[in-house]
Amino acid sequence: MTVDDIRERIKKKDIELYVQELLQFENSFDGFEKAIEPLAERLKIGRVEGHLHIEADIKSVQDEDRHDVFYAGDGLYSEKGKYQKTFPAVENGYCELTAFPYENVEWSEKEKEDIALLLEILYLHVTRSRLIRKTREYSYCNLITMLPNSAGFVRIIQQRCQNQTICQYNGFYFNLKSFGLLSYKYGGAEGDLIIKRYAVAVRKWLAEDETLAHLGGDNFMALVKKSRTAEFLHFLEKVEVTAKYMGRIVPVYIAAAAGVYEITAKDRDPRNIMNGLSIAVSYARQHKLPYAFLTDKMLEETVDVQRMEQMLPEALEKREFQVYYQPKVDIRTGQIVGTEALARWIHNGEVIQPFRFIPTMERNGFIIHLDLYILKRVCEAINEWIEKGYKLVPISVNISRNDISGVGHDPRMLAERIIRIIKEYDIDPKYIIIEVTETTEASEQKDLYDFIKNMSEAGIATSIDDFGTGCSTLSVLRDFPVNEIKIDRSFINHEAFSTQDQIIIKSIIQMARQLNLNVITEGVETEEQARFLLELGCNHAQGYLYDKPLEQSAFESRLSVGGYDRKI
């Protein structure tokens, strides 16, 4: 065996030991110094450094630039004669590894080959360790923005609680306004990039010790120093990013609705902070506020809502929900031409108004059960009135937009359920009007159109509630096979009617009549309003001028006489 053979065997053994030692530390860069020591002594390596540089892109919100010393020998090392190799990083960047010789040492070409192999193995170890670490970190981050997700944010709060710095910050939960429209306009892929650019812009604004988290979709959380709270809320009112549209880069301005939790030294449970933030942002969104600070009143209301949610299924089963009827009246004659079925919750003798339970049902998806329940009770009432010999009028039954376009809902299946109920009670479809509200969301418009079309094909009339308040008004008149529109009360509840009011209402009425649609105005409270509507060509009204919503027995009494003495 030659000297070279012996050297090769020693080198091979050293490399094997080097690799085995590294594998014991697969999750970190630790252990490298011990692993390389035999090779370093043989090759006279005085120091090994690494430089990892990752540039922010779609995979990474922040730049990353780190320097590591993997090995430092006892003697002095020299910059002269260093050996350096650059490798591509898995992300958008590079990994640069450098070996330095001891002073007065010059490596041979053969030794440089050995050092190159050493660095290549180190690179594989660094990449593998980083991949394992990143894989674990990914369970705590959002994969679009690479920011902490909900679990990651909780972990950060826990760390701040443990080191007793959490009370230096306020918590923020913010939701981007109208992001669905942006995503629809620019496309889903560009929508993800807009979210990414938004995250970069917000992260850039924050200080190094402040935290931004991305919960998913258009929902973010943050920890911001208390002294910067007002400044941050102002910043969230208008964040500028860019979007690619038809081959051009265009500016996009994004506003957010925010909930704020003022963290104190007593806060030790991340769940309480997270729950408080959810309550505050929900309040801001429901009340169309730019932001809302969590208050004790909000917490009390949340407890009430949770209690109400628990009561709803049993209340429906016990038939605690009663149908009240508000007449629709011909302004000229006072005759009842229709009525709207409205839900009232009678619990322990108390009448619970819709504004207290409808929003809760809308949020938790229970509203579909109430809507179909009301439809069944209306069908029962129609059959009772037929037996009593009353002259019937069409009854409007409200169907929530969430029933049509909510998560897991299908407009065609909903239409089939409504048709089936009407058939089960053997009701002539001409006595039922399904009342829905218009929408500005393109995806919801498609679902609404499909639903109305199915109703029309079954001979069931439909009515658009709150007409004129959405952006889709003209397209609804043109494209949707509806039978009736209800002009929103906001057009007539001014103390004095403006010229603009008159022009808008008159235009709506004229267009509707030319399209053979019935027009009714809701919220009519005075004879002046009724007279104004009549002059503009609207003959039907609904409101307190005639009656508030009536219990069934009271409505039957009114129905038996056919209307009101009041004529305009």
Contact status, residue 256 vs residue 224, Cβ threshold 8 Å: no
In residues, how long is the chain? 568
* Residue-level pLDDT at 487: 85
**Fold of the 306-491+550-559 domain:** TIM Barrel (3.20.20)
Return the minimum-mean-pLDDT range out of 44-48, 61-65, 125-129, 355-359.
61-65
Q: What are phi and psi of 343, to 5 degrees?
A: -90, 135
For residue 58, what pLDDT band results from cuts at 50, 70 and 90? very low
Where residue 10 falls among pLDDT bands split at 50, 70, 90? very low
CB distance 249 to 197 below 8 Å: no
The superfamily in CATH containing domain 150-294 is Reverse transcriptase/Diguanylate cyclase domain (3.30.70.270)
User: Do residues 176 and 32 make contact, with C-beta atoms less than 8 angstroms apart?
Assistant: no
Per-residue pLDDT, 3: 36
The DSSP symbol for 148 reads B
Higher pLDDT, 507 or 258: 258
Mean pLDDT, the chain, rounded, equals 87
End-to-end CA distance of the chain: 120
pLDDT above 70 (res 313): yes
For residues 129-136, average pLDDT? 74
CB 545 within 8 A of CB 510: no
Q: What is the pLDDT of residue 139?
A: 81
The answer to whether 508 touches 518, Cβ cutoff 8 Å, is no
Selected residue with higher pLDDT from 209 and 512: 209
Quick check: pTM over 0.85? Answer: no
pLDDT tens per residue, range 385-429: 999 999 999 999 999 988 998 666 789 999 999 999 999 999 999
Q: Residue 157's pLDDT is what? A: 95
Tell me the C-alpha distance between 534 and 519, whole Å.
Answer: 11
Inter-CA distances, 336 with 466, 532, 567, Å: 21, 20, 12
* Spatial contact of 519 and 540, defined as CB atoms under 8 Å apart: yes
Mean pLDDT of 437-448: 75
Measured torsion, CA atoms of residues 441, 444, 445, 451, in degrees rounded to the nearest 10 = -170
Q: pLDDT-based confidence at 287, cuts 50/70/90?
A: confident
What pLDDT was estimated at residue 38? 80
Domain boundaries, the chain: 3-138, 150-294, 306-491+550-559
pLDDT at 443: 65
Q: For residue 13, is pLDDT > 70?
A: no
Contacts by residues 540-547 (CB-CB < 8 Å, ≥ 24 positions apart): 540/328, 540/329, 540/330, 540/331, 540/337, 540/338, 541/328, 541/329, 541/331, 542/326, 542/327, 542/328, 542/329, 542/340, 542/486, 543/489, 546/327, 546/329, 547/326, 547/327
Residue 472 has pLDDT above 70, yes or no: no
The pLDDT of residue 41: 84
- Top CATH class of 3-138 equals alpha beta
- Residue 172 token pair: 């923020």
Condensed to tens digits (0 to 9), the pLDDT of residues 539-556 reads: 999 999 999 999 999 999
Number of separate helices (H) and strands (E) present in the chain? 18, 20
Report the alpha-carbon distance of residue 236 to residue 327 in Å, rounded: 46
The structure tokens listed for 167 are 């009370």
